[in-house]
Chains A and B, each alone.
Chain A
Amino acid sequence: GNSVTQMEGPVTLSEEAFLTINCTYTATGYPSLFWYVQYPGEGLQLLLKATKADDKGSNKGFEATYRKETTSFHLEKGSVQVSDSAVYFCALDLNDYKLSFGAGTTVTVRA
């Protein structure tokens, strides 16, 4: 079946450090890929997306590139801030009217 695997958390970083969260997927077909972020007590916010191979999604300093050859969509940010502390979810959409999510990665950024 279709699935998303994210790196295990939690991840703890210092401010201005480089962040990478690995995400790989298994899918029959050509999914759209997303990163969502969830802050405490809130729902999910769309962070970025990519709809086809080699697309790069970017937003708020975060980037992720759709790699079909490695079935990956790793999230990166060059210099994190305390305000980036949240749970990050990788997700795929196979145009079957639902999102399949990874388990989520908790990121804590210390001042």
Chain B
Amino acid sequence: KAGVTQTPRYLIKTRGQQVTLSCSPISGHRSVSWYQQTPGQGLQFLFEYFSETQRNKGNFPGRFSGRQFSNSRSEMNVSTLELGDSALYLCASSLGGREPQHFGDGTRLSIL
């Protein structure tokens, strides 16, 4: 069974640009979550989607947004990039409920 797939693996952008990251969940998983990982702040929750509905959102500015498609694939978008947005962005999928989340290898975003 294929795991969670995130694309691209690496991205380099400049301040002010925008970026879209993609996540394909494990087949059959309808819940997709996004996390930001940085050395200073650790792992922070961004948002979670289930059946195309956002059910929870973390404390991030409105520049961070996401969506989920009918096939459960998800994208997150960051607009007006700032240096502080440099991070590893991790996507996780699960069956929902109390089932564990399974993570992809992440997208490493670097802002110059």
Report how many residues on chain B are interfacial, defined by Cβ distance under 8 Å.
24
Closest chain-B Cβ to A57's Cβ sits at a distance in Å of 10
For A99, give its contact among B45, B55, B97, B105 (CB under 8 Å).
B45
8 Å CB interface, A75-111 against B: 89, 93, 95-104
Interface residues of B in 75-112 (CB under 8 A from A): 90, 92, 97-98, 100-106
Do the beta carbons of B33 and A95 come within 8 Å of each other? no
Q: What's the count of A-B pairs with C-beta under 8 Å?
A: 51
Complex-state Cα separation, A45 to B103, whole angstroms: 7
Measured between beta carbons, the chain B residues less than 8 angstroms from A34 are: 100
List A contacts of B102 (CB < 8 A). Answer: 46
Whether B58 is near chain A, meaning CB under 8 Å from some CB there, is: yes
**A93 CA / B97 CA spacing, docked (Å):** 10
A104 closest partner in B (C-beta): B42
Task: Give the docked Cα–Cα distance between A52 and B31 (Å).
Answer: 22
**Can you sample 19 A-B contacts with CB below 8 Å?**
A36-B103, A41-B105, A43-B4, A44-B90, A44-B103, A46-B101, A46-B102, A89-B43, A97-B50, A97-B55, A98-B45, A98-B58, A99-B33, A99-B43, A99-B45, A100-B45, A102-B42, A103-B42, A104-B42
Q: Which chain B residues have a beta carbon within 8 Å of chain A's beta carbons?
A: 4, 6, 31, 33, 35, 42-43, 45, 48, 50, 55-56, 58, 90, 92, 97-98, 100-106
